[in-house]
Structure 1
Amino acid sequence: MTTKLNLSDALSYGFDRITTRGGAILLVVYALFQLAMQVSVQSLFSRVLADVFPDEKSSQLYPLAVDLPIAVSAGVTALLVLVGAVIGVVTIRALYAGINDVPTADHTRRLARTAGVTVIVSVVTFVAVLVGTAFLIFPGIFLAVSLVFATVVVIIEDAGVIESLERSWELSSGHRFRLLVLGVIIGAGGGLVRLAFGIVGVFAPVVGELATTVTSGVLSLFGAAVLVGAYRQLAGDREPRSPSEW
């Protein structure tokens, strides 16, 4: 008999993981990383906008931007993308098992290879969803739900590109509607929080942007924890295994 995805269990798993000692450390890491990424990206876009439209003021559009050459901000942004992939690998493994001991050798095993495959799978998934969305939106949503576990499979199961896509399709089969609902719940909650800080940003752009950026980091970690919780259910691995059993 096929196990049905329990949404409340997945959400509870996510909440339980981020409220641990290790979860608190990861929350700080995610918030700081998100802040660094926003400063870098906004600095890049601000300089590009200033070069293309010299008379336009970009301070309101990019309140966290700092005055950096395009080459520097572009290089820092590219580096942060790679750092983000590494952080993502360690985070998913910690959320899966051993979160209060992060980082351990098990969290960082085959790190470069796994981060590289994760980036490739993320790009493949993004392109597939983008193409699917071009066809009346529904195929894009279907693909997004079907491939939602692809990166988790790479990180937890040490799968390759094709194997991770096939495995995600298998795990989501029969649970796609519930996974969609789970995504809507997380997305709607995050949207409401960002809307509230967006209103603050109208009156205090820097404060609003800082609050939105930090919150985005927190929500990203929570979403990852919920995804791992859903993966555990569907993979038939409800109880955390010790690192030696990985």
Structure 2
Amino acid sequence: MTLQLTTALVDGSRRVLTRTGAVLLVLLLGLQTLLVTSLNTVLAAELPSAAADVIGLTLPVSGPVAGAILVGTTLSNAVYFVVLSRALARPLPELASFPAALYTRRMGRASLTMLVAGVVSFLAIMVGFALLFLPGLFLSACLLFVVFAVGVEDRGVLGALKRSWQLSKGNRLRLGVIVFLTGVGGALVGVVPGLFQLAGAAAAGDLATIGLNSVLFTFVYSIVADAYRQLTDDTTAVGGGGTATTAGTDRTPEL
């Protein structure tokens, strides 16, 4: 099936403006805040006190405690990706709810698989960008659906990589546009901390960066979710081992 890029951009953006989009954005803001502040605290504990002005937001804890928080937050990101994939891959009308099945069904195995698959995908893409820019862009497009193959379809690491590669076939140029636009957005956000540091407001720069990155990330994965739904047969996208529709329609408590 051919990906309708304009539809993915428009309908994907609409997914952000739902209850599910709001919940995912708030959760991401919390995770990003913990990630940045714990990392800054670890750095502050190692760097001379004279460098404190450029560190930004920190936590009122020691370096080792901040390190433990950093590791815990990194692991929590894998859980978040599982929830995000299941939540956003549902039909648009279902995004008005956030049922408990999204974050209770087989979370242990799925989160571990997500962590390993994420590391493998990241390393492969980084190698591609290190060799030449285009191989990195190509691999980014090919592996764009790994999180959905793990979270929605309950696939293992290799199965998720193969599934994403299969789904991207014939649409990699269009998916590459999404990856490229994401890179441009990320580059623009990356300028923000430097501007605030020049103004002597590193902490404010961290806050602005966390907010902008969280909004960008939520929009990007909402668009990717819509592309995933377009490229997946109904029986696979919302059926099979871990169905998005089932997760959305179970009679379970909601967040």
Task: Please indicate the TM-score interval, normalised by the length of the shorter structure.
Answer: 0.7 to 0.9
The answer as to 2:246 corresponding to 1:243 is yes
Q: Structure 1 residues 198, 15: closer, same or farther in 2, change over 3 A? A: farther
Please list the CA deviations of residues 98-123 of structure 1 after superposition, one character each: whole Å capped at 9, or x if unmatched: 43321422443101110100000011
- Distance, in Å, in 2 between the alignment partners of 1:188 and 1:90 is 26
**Quick one: percent identity of the two aligned structures?**
34
Return the offset for 1:88.
1.8
- Distance, in Å, in 1 between the alignment partners of 2:17 and 2:208 is 20
Q: Paired residues, what number?
A: 239
Greater Cα offset, 168-177 or 193-202: 193-202
Conserved 8 A contact 2:20-2:98? yes
- Distance, in Å, in 2 between the alignment partners of 1:184 and 1:201 is 27
Q: Secondary structure at the match of 2:52?
A: coil
Return the offset for 1:35.
1.1
Partner of 2:13 in structure 1?
A: 15
- Distance, in Å, in 1 between the alignment partners of 2:95 and 2:197 is 34
Q: Structure 1 residues 89, 165: closer, same or farther in 2, change over 3 A? A: same
- Distance, in Å, in 1 between the alignment partners of 2:40 and 2:181 is 28
- Distance, in Å, in 2 between the alignment partners of 1:12 and 1:88 is 22
Partner of 1:44 in structure 2?
A: 42
**Gap runs ≥5 in structure 2:** 239-243, 251-255
Please list the CA deviations of residues 131-150 of structure 1 after superposition, one character each: whole Å capped at 9, or x if unmatched: 33333343332222211211
The answer as to 2:56 corresponding to 1:63 is yes
- Distance, in Å, in 1 between the alignment partners of 2:123 and 2:192 is 31
Return the offset for 1:13.
2.4
- Pairing partner for 2:74 from 53, 70, 81: 81
Letter in 2 for 1:17: R
- Pairing partner for 1:90 from 83, 86, 89: 83
Return the offset for 1:67.
5.0
- Distance, in Å, in 1 between the alignment partners of 2:102 and 2:86 is 8
Alpha-carbon RMSD: 2.4
Partner of 2:253 in structure 1?
A: none
**Gap runs ≥5 in structure 1:** none
